[in-house]
Amino acid sequence: MSEIPPSHPRFHSLMMRERLVEGLHAGLCTETGLIAHGRGEALDYLLGERTHPFAVHAIEAASAAITLANHPMLSVNGNVASLAAAEMAELAKEFPRIGIEVNLFHGSSERSRKIADRLRSFGAPTVLEAAGPDSMVLATIQHNRKYMHPDGIGKADVVLVALEDGDRCQALVESGRRVIAIDLNPLSRTAKLAHFSIVDELTRCVPRLHVQLRADRTLPSEVLKQRLHGYDNCRILSQAEQVLRQGNVASK
Ligand code: PTJ
């Protein structure tokens, strides 16, 4: 790993790159994952690398949806594992009713196993792998993302996907599941199709979601339902797009 002094103005961003490169060398993510990260970085730069109120509102709604769900699941791919395996595992450790499932675009059973092992090494209690002999499939998808573990996303009513492609998000929505997306691009098909789109950087918003879940755990379900009732994802996306188009953040 390169030596990056914490005083460097771009410390956090550079550390994220280091995590991804380490993830690549450890067999967690792919070379194309690095390219996908570059797109996210550019968008985050325009957002001023901070969590905006539109993302906070989406996180609050996502937390309500997860808290009210019967079988909530987090979907983890190579980039998510490289960037935020510890954060995802911490969340699942405190909330064991929230399962984790490894689902990959570039299919590889070896990579899937390494990602599952990484999550378990951080203490995640339930980690399933989507592709396997008993897998269920989302019929409208042609590629590797179609697989679902029958005890995981196969029976989930709420699924959180991060850094996801539009086909799978669409298929999950069409299957009747509620979908939460983490995606820095408010114009992506994923962000547009999901029920709750968190336009924020993954490693910033997962700890926030964790804190929100803790706060929501003891709230009456009527309060959470009311929060969902007042939520408008189209408005959230247009607010995010407006900030991006202004792009008037101070340069760093
Ligand atoms: O590990 P695999 O095989 O499942 O592949 C994972 C990748 C990420 C390569 C695959 O899902 C992919 O190609 O994704 P896309 O279609 O490039 O979509 C990724 C989306 O996530 C884009 O809209 C990016 O702007 C966004 N993004 C990238 N990095 C981050 C991000 N959003 C939030 N936080 C990030 N750190």
Task: Measure the CA–CA gap between 144 and 81, rounded to whole angstroms.
Answer: 17
Q: 30-48: per-residue pLDDT in tens?
A: 999 999 999 999 999 999 9
- What is the 142 CA–ligand 1 centroid distance (Å)? 19
Strands 72-76, 127-129: parallel, antiparallel or unpaired by DSSP?
A: unpaired
Give the number of the atom of ligand 1 that is nearest the alpha carbon of residue 202. 34
Tokens of 242: 């407006």
Task: Measure the CA–CA gap between 56 and 66, rounded to whole angstroms.
Answer: 15
Kindly report the average pLDDT of the chain as a whole number: 95
Helix axes 221-229, 53-68, angle to 10 degrees: 130
Q: 3-class SS at 225?
A: helix
DSSP structure string for 115-148: HHHHHHHTT-S-EEESSSTT-EE-TT--SGGGEE
- What is the 100 CA–ligand 1 centroid distance (Å)? 18
Task: Measure the CA–CA gap between 160 and 213, rounded to whole angstroms.
Answer: 14
pTM of the model: 0.96
Q: How confident is the model at residue 19 (pLDDT cuts 50, 70, 90)?
A: very high
Task: Measure the CA–CA gap between 185 and 124, rounded to whole angstroms.
Answer: 28
Ligand 1: residues with CB < 6 A are 29-30, 32-33, 36-37, 39-40, 43, 77-79, 83, 104-106, 163-165, 182-185, 188, 201-202
Q: 154-210: per-residue pLDDT in tens?
A: 999 999 999 998 999 999 999 999 999 999 999 999 999 999 999 999 999 999 999
